[in-house]
Amino acid sequence: MLRSGLIALVLLAFAAPAQAQLAKPQTKSLDSEAPPGSPPHWLPNETWVMQHWLPYDETRLYALMGVTRGEIWRWLRDDTRNVAGLAALHGYPDPHVLARELVAPWQGKLREPERMALLEKRALSTLTQGHLAQHIFFHSLHQNAIPDNAPEIFGTSTTRFRDLRRSELSPLMICRLNGLSRSHAQAAAEKTLRAMAARGVKGQAIPASQADRLLARQLRQVPRWLQQTRYNGPPPLKQPRGSIATASNYSNNAVLAGNGERVAFESYEAKLAVAKAKGEIGVVAGALDGTGERLRRPGRGPASAYNPAVSADGRFVAFESAEGNYNFAKRYGQMAVWVHDTRRDVAIPASRSTLRVPFSAYNPTISGDGRVVAYETSESERGALAVWVTDLRTRRSRLVGNDIYEPALSADGRYLVFTGAGSQVFLRDLQRGTTRPVSSGQEAWEPVVSRGGRVVAFTQGGKIVVTGAGETVIALPGAALSEPSLSANGRRVAFTARGAGSESTAVYVRDLATGATELVSRSSAGVPAMGASARPSISADGTRVAFTSDAWNLVPSKCNPARGIFVRDLASGTTTLVSRGDGANAGLGPTKGSGGSGAMRIALMCA
C-alpha cells in the first residue's frame, strides 16, 4: 500500500513536464516553401495539394521533358532533388518557363482569366518542391477526402479513424468494427473520390484529362488500401503516430514456425540514420531465445521488408518488400514478394516478373516445406486484384483467380483458402483445381486452413467460425473476435478479442475438443497483459502461441510501452520475450515521437 501510494504521488508530480519527456522527433523539411522548423513530411495545407489537383496534364510534362513517369519516380525517390533539377538536364534550365508551358492549354478556357497566374504558381511548386512533387505524383491515396468523410464511409469520426489507422488497424477492420461491410466501404470511398475529382474539374483546378487519370489511379488502389494494416502516412505532430507503442523501435506481426522453435517478425527502426541505410522495417528471423538475423531483399539503398510468413522448420521466410524514400526511409514504390533461405543466406524473388506489366505483390503465405508461395497482386495499369501461386522449385507461377484476396496455404501446400465474391471464404484444392465455398451469409474474412484442408477458420460478424466435420462458432461476451490462427490438426485456434468500443485487445486460444478457452496474453505468473495484445500465431501442435503486445508487465526485461514479440508456452505456462531493442531510440525518428507523459508514467512504474 505504501509503495503504491508513493508511485501515485510520483506520477502526479511528473505528469507531463516537457523537460521530463524523451527527445523530440527530428523536424526538418527539405522543401524551400516549408516554414522554418517544419517536419520532413510537411505539405502545404491547401486543397489542391492534399487532393492531388495537378494544374496540368502530367503527360504534357513527360512529353516536354522527353522523360517517362518511371524516370520521374526514380529521380524523386531522393526528394532533396526536385523536378526542376531533372528538367534542367532536359532542356529547361528555367523552371518558370516550363511552368508556363505546362499550363498553356488553359489559355482562353478559364472563366476567370486572372486565375492563370495562380495555376502557373502551382505548377512551379510541383517543379521546385521535391517532397510536394513526390506526394502529388505518386501518393494518390495520401489525401484527406476519405478521412474527412469517415462518418459515412467507416461509421466513425475523422479523429477516431485517424487514431485507429495510426494504431495499424486496416480501414476495412475499422469499418467492420462499426458494423459496416466491405462493399459499403469500397462504394462509399469510391463515391467520395469521384466527387472530389469532379469538384477539382468544376473549379478549374485540374484538367479533366488529369482528373480522369488521377481518379482511375485512386480507384485501382482502393481495394488493396482497404486491407492495408501498416500505416505509411504522416503522424500527428503533437503525439506522433498517436501511440506510445510506436514512438521508438518496436516489433510487430510475428509468425511462429510450425515446429514452434523459430519465429519471424517485423522490426521497426526509429533511428533515422539506420532506417536510411537499411529501411524503416526489417524482418527478423531466428530462435525463441532472441537470436536472429534481419532479412532484406538484395540491392542498395533503403528497402523495407515486412509481413512475413515462415515454413514449418523456420528455414524459409517469405515477406513483402518495398524500396524506401532516401531521406526518411518511408516505404515508396511497388511491392514485391521475396523468399529468404536462412540456411543458405540467399533471397529469391517469388512474385511474377515485373517485365510484363507494372504490379505490386504482397500478403504472402508459404507451405510447410517452403516450396510453394501464394500472394496477392495488384496491377498498376488496370488495378486488377488477383492471387497467384508460385512453385519455387520449378519457378512457375499460376493464376488462382481475379478479384480474390487474403490467401492462406495449408501446411502441405495443397489447399488454399481465400476471400472472394461477396466477401465469402472459399477453399481451393490446388492439385485438383477445384474450388468450393466454405462460408455463407454475412461477410467473412481472415481465413486460415489446417493441414489437409480438413478444417477452415475465419472471422464473421465479430465471431470466429470453425468448419470441418461440423461447425463451431466461438464468441466471447462483449468482445469482437478476429485474427484466427489454426493448429495443424485444426483442434486449437488462437484469436484476438477486442472489447466493445475499446482499443484494448487480448489473445486467447480455444481447444475445440474440450471447449476450454485460455488467456494467452499474460505473464508467466499468470497476470494479464497491461496493454494491447494481438496478431496470434499458433504452432503446428497447438502448444505455443506467438503474439504482439505493448504491455509493460509481461516480462521483467521489457518494462516499456513499445510493441514487442512474445511466445506463450501453453504446456509450461511461461511467457518469453523474443524481440530485442523494443523501446530503444525513442524520439529519434522523423515520423515517430517521444511518447510523452504516457511513456514517462510507465518508466516510473517500472522503477
Report pLDDT for 443.
92
pLDDT-derived band of residue 221, with 50, 70 and 90 as boundaries? confident
Predicted confidence (pLDDT) per residue in 463-490, tens digit: 999 999 899 999 999 999 999 999 999 9
Lowest-pLDDT choice from 128-137, 299-308, 441-450, 543-552: 299-308
Q: Between these two residues, 584 and 189, which has the higher pLDDT value?
A: 189
Give the model's confidence band at 247: pLDDT under 50 very low, under 70 low, under 90 confident, else very high. Answer: low
CA nearest to 271, candidates 250, 249, 286: 249
CB hemisphere CA count around 198 (13 angstroms):
6
Residue 422: pLDDT band (50, 70, 90) is: confident
**Beta-strand runs (E) in 331-419:** 331-341, 346-349, 359-366, 372-379, 385-391, 396-402, 405-409, 415-419
Q: Residue 263: enclosing H or E segment and its boundaries? A: strand 262-268
Q: What are the strands of the beta sheet with 463-467, ordered from one edge?
A: 445-449, 456-460, 463-467, 471-474
Note the pLDDT of residue 215: 96
- Separation between Cα atoms, residue 187 and residue 153, nearest integer Å: 8
- CB hemisphere CA count around 565 (13 angstroms): 31
Residue 300: other Cβ atoms inside 10 A = 6
Neighbours of 413 (CB within 10 A): 22
Label residue 504 by pLDDT band (50, 70, 90): confident
Q: Which of 486, 529, 539, 478 is nearest to 510 (CA)?
A: 486
14, pLDDT greater than 60: no
Whether the pLDDT of residue 241 is over 70: the answer is no
Specify whether the CB–CB gap between 387 and 407 falls below 8 A: yes
Please check the confidence at residue 180 and state whether its pLDDT lies above 70.
Answer: yes
Average the pLDDT over each of 19-23, 100-104, 235-239, 359-363 and give the range with the smallest value. Answer: 19-23
Mean pLDDT of 548-553: 94
Cell for 66?
Answer: 522527353
Q: What is the DSSP letter of 502?
A: -
- Tell me the pLDDT of the chain averaged across its residues: 87
Sheet holding 262-268, edge to edge: 250-256, 262-268, 281-287, 292-295
Band of pLDDT at residue 79, cut at 50, 70 and 90: confident
- Which residue bears the cell 492534399? 50
Is residue 558 within 8 A of residue 583, CB to CB? The reply is yes
pLDDT band at residue 23 using 50, 70 and 90 as cut-offs? very low
Please report the pLDDT score of residue 600 as a whole number.
56
Q: In b/e form, how buried is each residue of 148-158, taking b as 16+ CB within 10 angstroms?
A: ebbeebbbbee
234 pLDDT above the threshold of 70? no
Q: For position 513, what pLDDT does the model report?
A: 96
Q: What is the pLDDT of residue 8?
A: 36
Is residue 275 scored above 80 in pLDDT? no
Q: Is the pLDDT of residue 95 over 50?
A: yes
Q: What is the pLDDT of residue 502?
A: 57
pLDDT computed for residue 584 by the predictor: 81
What is the per-residue DSSP string for 316-344? EEEEEEEEE-TTT--EEEEEEEEEEETTT
Task: Provide the grid cell at 228.
Answer: 492495408
More confident residue, 275 or 381: 275
Over residues 561-570, the pLDDT tens digits come to 889 999 999 9
Please state the rounded mean pLDDT for residues 105-114.
96
Q: Which three cell numbers stand for residue 180?
A: 459496416
Residues 302-334 have pLDDT tens digits of 788 999 999 999 999 999 998 877 666 677 667
Which parts of 260-406 fold into alpha helices (H)? 272-278
- The span from the CA of 307 to the CA of 413, in Å, is 19
pTM score of the predicted model: 0.86
Which residue is associated with the grid cell 505548377? 123
Top-confidence residue, 343 or 21: 343
As a whole number, mean pLDDT of residues 281-307 equals 87
User: pLDDT class for 228, splitting at 50, 70, 90?
Assistant: confident
Q: Which residue has the higher pLDDT, 86 or 269?
A: 86
Examine the pLDDT at 21 and tell me if it is beyond 50. Answer: no
State whether CATH 3.40.50.10680 applies to domain 257-578: no
**Contact call for residues 244 and 163 (beta carbons, < 8 A):** no
Predicted local confidence at residue 36, as pLDDT: 87
Q: What is the pLDDT of residue 598?
A: 54
Q: From residue 244, how far is each of 22, 23, 101, 530 by CA, in Å?
A: 11, 13, 48, 14
Q: Is the pLDDT of residue 100 over 70?
A: yes
**Range from 39-43, 197-201, 441-445, 513-517 carrying the lowest mean pLDDT:** 39-43
Query: Reading across the β-sheet that carries 425-429, which strands appear in turn?
Result: 405-409, 415-419, 425-429, 434-437
How far is Cα 565 from Cα 396, in angstroms, rounded to an integer?
35
User: Is residue 279 a contact partner of residue 302, using CB atoms and an 8 Å limit?
Assistant: yes
Handedness of CA 557, 561, 563, 566 (dihedral sign): positive
Ranked by mean pLDDT, the top range of 69-83, 328-342, 385-399 is 385-399
Q: How far is CA 540 from CA 261, 375, 518, 519, in A?
A: 11, 22, 17, 19
Residue 601 has pLDDT above 90, yes or no: no
* pLDDT bucket at 118, cuts 50 / 70 / 90: very high
| DSSP letter (8 states) at residue 522 | B
pLDDT at 599: 56
Answer for the pair 290, 557: CB distance below 8 angstroms, yes or no. Answer: no
The full set of domain ranges for the chain reads 47-227, 257-578
- Residue range 151-170: average pLDDT? 91
Res 583: pLDDT: 82
Q: Kindly tell me if the per-residue pLDDT of 128 is higher than 80.
A: yes
pLDDT of res. 5: 37
> Across residues 588-601, what is the average pLDDT?
47
